[in-house]
Structure 1
Amino acid sequence: MRRSFHYMVFLTCFFAMCACRNQPPGQSVHDRLLEAVLAGNREVVDSCLQNGGNPNLRDDEGTPLLILAVNAGKPGILESILRYRVSVDARRQSGYQSTALMETALRNNLEAARLLLSRGAGVNLRDSIGDTALHWAAFYGRLELARLLCENGAGLSITSREGAPLDVALWQFNDAVADYLVAKDATMRQSGEFVEAVRAGNEAAVKQLLKAGANADQLDESGSPVLVIAASRGFFNIVKLLLEKKTDPDLMNRVGQTALCRAVYFGHEDIAKLLASHGAGINKAGPHYRMTPLHAAAKSGQSTIGQWLIEKRANIDAQEGISGYTPLMIATSYGRQDMVKVLIKARANPHIKGFDGAALPDLINYAGRPEIARLLEEYMLQQ
């Protein structure tokens, strides 16, 4: 049986080598190597590398083979490439000029991240806007990847155009990552009994502490007001208690999100309406990120709440502060069909461009949702 097994392994390797050596006329070993990586064929990848394939190869757009391997989702192929003298921190020549380690966040590829780190990948290298791999993990909400990066020396205080990793996690509503980064940062003071009671949703304790003089405007370690925390977590009665203590309904967290913005994102319609009844600003947002409640509805696909916000005179064409995207652009890029319909009905402007020059047709292609594409193409023809 062992001889048969080894013979089968030999045949497999032999045919893989033939596949690389006997490529179609005009196709080089490098072309074959690129095809094999994209197809996820490790046997052919191994054969091509053994027969002179360049592990530092790039495709026509300047993307390194290493990044293509990470995004192919086949750790075995990445492992094969890393056996050779390869530049582990090679960057894309376009886009954000990201490294392979950064791009492990796209598909939450933990195994690839471990391999790259074991080969010395730069954990604190920055992309073209100053983001590190930890910023990428925070953006995509990859908690375990964030843990791995921090264990390997990722900097918590490195700031980019988008802020520190904690700012990015909060901005993208990735609260599990944000909570981890707060706990990891030794420079942040402990929040205290009142904040912990709010976080836990302990209504009786909150009521008792408020009666004893607790500050209804108190902030947690990261600068989030307790009202914002309660609204995010759906604690209606605690939000009501805080509002009865005359806390400002428009208090913001460190990235300029109000309690209303966060209640909308997480689908807490009752809390959103309670906040509005106490004067919360429908279009209120901080000056840098400028994430309004309607942007939040577009991002999370809360179409019913989105319709309510529009009826309350939300600015349907407001541009978010980092990307310049409008609610319609955000709903399109996240594939939120019902929200797209709500915004079309409200006559949202389909011709605004993001700060990077991206227009709605670009986002339609990115989303890859034919039903949304049909809706928007028909709408744009009418404008």
Structure 2
Amino acid sequence: MDENTCKLLVKLAQEGQLSSLEKLISLGGSAEVQTVGSKHFGRSGDTLLHYAARKGHLDIMEYLITRIGTDVEVYNNDYKRPLHEAASMSHQACVSYLLREGAKVDSLKKADWTPLMMACTRRNLGVIRELLCHGADPALKNKDGWNSFHIACREGDPLVVQHLLVVAPDVWRAESKTRRTPLHTAAMHGCEEVVRILLERCGYAPGCTDSCGVTPFMDAVRNGHISVARLLLEKHQEGHTSTIKTLLELGADLHVRDKKGRTALHMACIGQHADTARTLLQLGLKDSEDACGTTAMQHARKPDVVRVFECGLPDPS
């Protein structure tokens, strides 16, 4: 099979031109038919089935599997199966077909990502439901310790998050290899509605920290998500009034420091978030030195952040 023929095969598969693809393959004779189904193309090592699944061409997928004999579990150089491709691009009909043809629902690609994890990056509830109905395990972790729920919380679709909690009520308990929870992930990415769901339906302890001593509140502050930070202060307190004092009075989350001695105010200034820094000062968090003797104010670079410390708000004491 020459280079031009290979390029044309890939083009036809990507464009969904089934009749032309059939004709080109048949011109090569029986030997061509036997080899084309398992042939890997380009640096990625994709097969024609990978290209068809990625583009959502169900008719070409059916042709390749039933007529050409392509293995439904064929994988490329990253160990991605056609199911990974279809799930990651939200092609529900293709996902359903591959599963009916025997594709393994929890197959692993490079870095241990499952099709369900890939689907959660696209926020397509239909595809996610299809995978779960065929036994996909949302608790499986990739090489970094993330499960599908971590990924869904990062993307911020409340319906997906709620559905995963219904199917697997304990899935929220997962921590990554650096002890980051789905709550950390949602807070870091400013997914306010997801944070609200997690606080209402899951049992996260106030002030839970990752391996670097960072709390979800600090994540929200550092990334300028002030509404999420306020929600963490207000709602997290409400769910634990029987075991802790009011967070706003005690300042448990407000004054927490990471392993480098940095407060939420340090994080806000490192990220150059003026509104966040102003709110923290108004809530009573005073500037102070971290473990290296650096104050939050010394991290201020943008003029509006510098002005926060020049407007007569509380200063270090």
1:166 is displaced (CA, Å) by 2.5
Report whether the alignment pairs 1:85 with 2:135: yes
Aligned to 1:188: 245
Matched, 1:257 2:265: yes
Q: Which residue of the partner structure matches residue 29 of structure 1?
A: 72
In the aligned structure 2, how far is the partner of 1:268 from the partner of 1:166?
Answer: 12
Report the CA distance between 1:105 and its aligned residue.
2.9
Contact 1:188–1:222 at 8 Å: present in 2 too?
A: no
> Does 2:274 align with 1:266?
yes
Tell me, yes or no, if the aligned pair for 1:264 and 1:296 is still in contact at 8 Å.
yes
2:173 to 107, 124, 135: 124
- Give the Cα separation in 2 of the matches to 1:34 and 1:190: 44
Matching of residue 133 in structure 1 with residue 133 in structure 2: no
> Secondary structure at 1:22's aligned position in 2?
helix
Q: Is the 8 A contact 2:269 2:296 kept in 1?
A: yes
Q: Deviations over 1:165-208 (max 9, x none)?
A: 2333333332222222222222232757xxxxxxxxxxxxxxxx
Q: Which of 77, 93, 113 is equivalent to 1:63?
A: 113
Quote the Cα distance in structure 2 between the aligned partners of 1:180 and 1:85. Answer: 35
State, as a whole percentage, how many aligned pairs show the same letter: 16
Q: What is the alpha-carbon distance in structure 2 between the residues aligned to residue 268 and residue 122 of structure 1?
A: 31
CA contact 2:223–2:271 (8 Å) conserved in 1: no
Q: Which residue is equivalent to 2:291?
A: 287
Alpha-carbon spacing, 1:28–1:255, altered in 2? closer, same or farther (3 Å): farther
Could you give the per-residue CA deviations for residues 17-75 of structure 1, whole angstroms, max 9, x where no partner exists?
Answer: 65443227574323322221122211011111111111101223321111100012322
What residue ranges of structure 1 are gaps of 5+ in the alignment?
A: 1-14, 193-218, 225-252, 272-279, 310-383
> What is the root-mean-square deviation of aligned Cα atoms in Å?
3.9
1:256, 1:291 within 8 Å by CA — same for their partners in 2? no
- 1:280-337, CA deviations, whole angstroms, 9 ceiling, x for partnerless residues? 99xx75339x79557665xxxx4x568x89xxxxxxxxxxxxxxxxxxxxxxxxxxxx
CA distance in 1, matches of 2:112, 2:271: 42
Asked whether the 8 Å contact 2:190–2:220 carries over to 1, the reply is yes
Residue 225 of structure 2 is aligned to residue 174 of structure 1: yes
Q: What is the number of equivalent residue pairs in this alignment? A: 222
1:63-121 Cα deviation digits (max 9, x unpaired): 1111100012322111110101221111112xx32111111233212222112111115
Scaled by the length of structure 1, what TM-score is found?
A: 0.49
Query: Which residue of structure 2 aligns with residue 111 of structure 1?
Result: 159
Paired residue for 1:101, among 149, 161, 168?
149
8 Å Cα contact 1:117/1:123 also seen in 2: yes
- Could you tell me how far apart the structure 1 residues matched to 2:164 and 2:63 are? 32
| 1:378 corresponds to | none
Shift in CA distance, 41/287, structure 1 to aligned 2, threshold 3 Å: same
Where relative contact order (Cα < 8 A, 6+ residues apart) is larger, the structure is 2
C-alpha distance in 2, partners of 1:260/1:106? 20
1:140-178 Cα distance to aligned partner (Å, 9 max, x none)? 121110111122223133322243323333333322222
- Structure 2 residue identity aligned to 1:28: D
- With the length of structure 2 as denominator, give the TM-score of the two structures: 0.58
Unaligned runs of 5+ in 2: 1-55, 74-80, 256-260, 279-285, 308-317
- Which secondary structure state, in structure 2, belongs to the residue aligned with residue 66 of structure 1? helix
Cα distance in 1 for partners of 2:98, 2:183 equals: 33
Q: 1:27 to 1:268 in 2, by over 3 A?
A: same
Residue pairs, 1:202-281, within 5 angstroms = 222-223=253-254, 255=263, 257=265, 261=269, 264-266=272-274
Counterpart of 1:379?
none
Cα distance, 1:57–1:147 mapped onto 2, change above 3 Å: same
Equivalent AA in structure 2 for residue 29 of structure 1: V
SS at match of 2:154: coil
2:197 to 139, 148, 170: 148
Q: Are the structure 2 counterparts of residues 169 and 39 from structure 1 closer, same or farther at C-alpha, using a change threshold of 3 Å?
A: closer
